[in-house]
Chains A and B, each alone.
Chain A
Amino acid sequence: MSVTSNSTLAPKHQRLILVLIALFVLIAAGLLAAWGLRSQADYFYLPEDIAENPPEPGRAIRLGGVVQNGSIRTLNDGVTIAFAVVGREGNAVPVTYRGIVPDLFVEGSGVIANGRLAEGGTFEAETLLAKHDENYTPRELEGLSDEAMHEVLEESAAQ
């Protein structure tokens, strides 16, 4: 190689260039692998994935999304709840579940349901996991204006 025959390039610089090239190739390979995994490594299907590519009924899948506002209701048997899960594009999948729901299971919040699609297009969930979003807000401050929030903060700091 012309690089090695060029005596002005110190060995440590040769090594630096070599390592940087190796790192570049390595990161490219890692990105390529991650790209190849992109949908296989998803933990759940969104409602739009199910609308686009409906899985055969009875196959165990995970459905994730947001619990539609105003959709949670208890069915006539008194223990089964029904609600709708919406994705990013507004498609909704009706879900039924019998059992104890996690504390964080509320309307407008994220949920992941393990279960299978029934013949009628309803998703029958066996377990529910609540998904937390990236927002951390203290209980007292929710729904307060900025001024009121500062007052509360000062109060709590004074304690």
Chain B
Amino acid sequence: MGIGTRDKDMHGFANPRRFLALARRLTPILVGVGLAASTAAILWGLIAVPPDRLMGETVRIIFIHVPTAWLGMAGWGTIAGASLAFIVWRHPLAALAARAAAVPGAVFTALCLVTGSIWGRPTWGTWWVWDGRLTSMLILLFLYLAYIALSQAVEREGASARLPAIFGLVGAVNIPIINRSVVWWNSLHQPPSITTGGSSIDGVFLWPMLIALIGFTCIFAACVLMNMRALLAQTQAEARLRRRAMEAEAGA
């Protein structure tokens, strides 16, 4: 039945009012800034940016590919950070944040793989190769799908929320592997352009890319907040239904 564990989990939701008030105020700001910044950056990238010396016009996909790749990894970073907070401080909102980041993270990872593939065909001459970077990014997508399935199963069956949290922490091992894959191994994907030593991307590409990065990140954050509110509302509605059912039973 799992009602016992759910009630225990509910304990921390006793007063999520402060979080809800904050989330309600932040969401429209994040959506507005996110849509404005990413639309502006993509338009800038499509219209005003000159073609690349070698790749020509295809370089323009960078303004979508790089932000989606960043959010694919930052999404798992959110899951891992929130899972750590949940395991250590047992704050139920942390478990909720981890669950809420999973679907947006998976969507951005899938977008990264698709845009990368579309970019790879004209540049490299192939849609897909099994090199270190592409393979580790595909594994990230599978990790997301597994995490989503696991957290849904845990929710449905009423098992401990620590299960997906541990999976979220273990899966974080893949993130530094994705980041280092092009350095450790010979790969078709080029080495990192932006390192602590600076950027080898010319300013005309770099600035719209950074603005797109900020815009996409705001949209991601808004998705996570909205998802958290939806999950909270769902939990509260279920608790209310249970209480009504119990009252009706007591009355009968």
Bound form: Cα–Cα A79–B183 in Å: 36
Bound form: Cα–Cα A19–B190 in Å: 35
Question: In angstroms, how far is the closest chain A Cβ from the Cβ of B246?
Answer: 32
Q: Please tell me if B31 contacts chain A, counting CB pairs below 8 Å.
A: no
Question: In angstroms, how far is the closest chain A Cβ from the Cβ of B167?
Answer: 12
Among A42, A127, A138, point to the contact of B202 (Cβ < 8 A): A138
Bound form: Cα–Cα A138–B48 in Å: 12
CB–CB B124/A131 < 8 A: yes
Bound form: Cα–Cα A77–B192 in Å: 40
Q: Please tell me if B180 contacts chain A, counting CB pairs below 8 Å.
A: yes
Known: A46-B186, A129-B188. A27 touches B204 (CB 8 A): no
Bound form: Cα–Cα A132–B131 in Å: 14
How does the 8 Å CB contact mask read for A102-113 relative to B, with 1 for contact and 0 for none?
111010011010
Residues of B within 8 A of A142 (CB): 53
Q: Please tell me if A134 contacts chain B, counting CB pairs below 8 Å.
A: yes
CB–CB B84/A156 < 8 A: no
Bound form: Cα–Cα A141–B54 in Å: 12
Among B84, B177, B203, point to the contact of A19 (Cβ < 8 A): B84
Q: Please tell me if B187 contacts chain A, counting CB pairs below 8 Å.
A: yes
CB–CB B190/A23 < 8 A: no
Q: Please tell me if A38 contacts chain B, counting CB pairs below 8 Å.
A: yes
CB–CB B124/A129 < 8 A: yes
Q: Please tell me if B12 contacts chain A, counting CB pairs below 8 Å.
A: no
Q: Please tell me if A133 contacts chain B, counting CB pairs below 8 Å.
A: yes
Residues of B within 8 A of A59 (CB): none
Question: In angstroms, how far is the closest chain A Cβ from the Cβ of B142?
Answer: 16
Bound form: Cα–Cα A105–B185 in Å: 22
Bound form: Cα–Cα A103–B122 in Å: 7
How does the 8 Å CB contact mask read for A69-113 relative to B, with 1 for contact and 0 for none?
000000000000000000000000000000000111010011010
* Stretch from B96-104, B168-176, B222-230 forming part of the interface with A: B168-176
B133-182 residues with Cβ-Cβ distance < 8 A to A are 169-170, 172-174, 176-177, 180
Q: Please tell me if B59 contacts chain A, counting CB pairs below 8 Å.
A: yes
Known: A34-B180, A104-B54. A137 touches B169 (CB 8 A): no
Q: Please tell me if B6 contacts chain A, counting CB pairs below 8 Å.
A: no
Question: In angstroms, how far is the closest chain A Cβ from the Cβ of B113?
Answer: 17
Residues of B within 8 A of A129 (CB): 124-126, 129, 188
Question: In angstroms, how far is the closest chain A Cβ from the Cβ of B81?
Answer: 11
Bound form: Cα–Cα A51–B186 in Å: 17
CB–CB B180/A136 < 8 A: no
Bound form: Cα–Cα A102–B184 in Å: 26
CB–CB B125/A130 < 8 A: yes
Q: Please tell me if B245 contacts chain A, counting CB pairs below 8 Å.
A: no
CB–CB A27/B203 < 8 A: no
How does the 8 Å CB contact mask read for B25-66 relative to A, with 1 for contact and 0 for none?
000000000000000000000001111111110010010000
Q: What are 15 A-to-B residue pairs whose CB atoms are below 8 Å?
A: A15-B88, A22-B169, A34-B177, A42-B186, A45-B186, A110-B190, A112-B188, A129-B126, A129-B129, A130-B124, A132-B55, A134-B200, A138-B49, A138-B50, A138-B53
Q: Which 7 A-B pairs have the closest CB atoms?
A: A102-B125, A30-B173, A43-B131, A138-B50, A42-B186, A136-B201, A134-B193
Given contacts A34-B184, A64-B186, 19 further A-B contacts (CB under 8 A): A15-B87, A23-B169, A26-B173, A42-B185, A102-B125, A104-B123, A104-B125, A112-B188, A129-B124, A129-B188, A135-B201, A136-B59, A136-B206, A138-B49, A138-B51, A139-B53, A141-B53, A141-B202, A156-B204
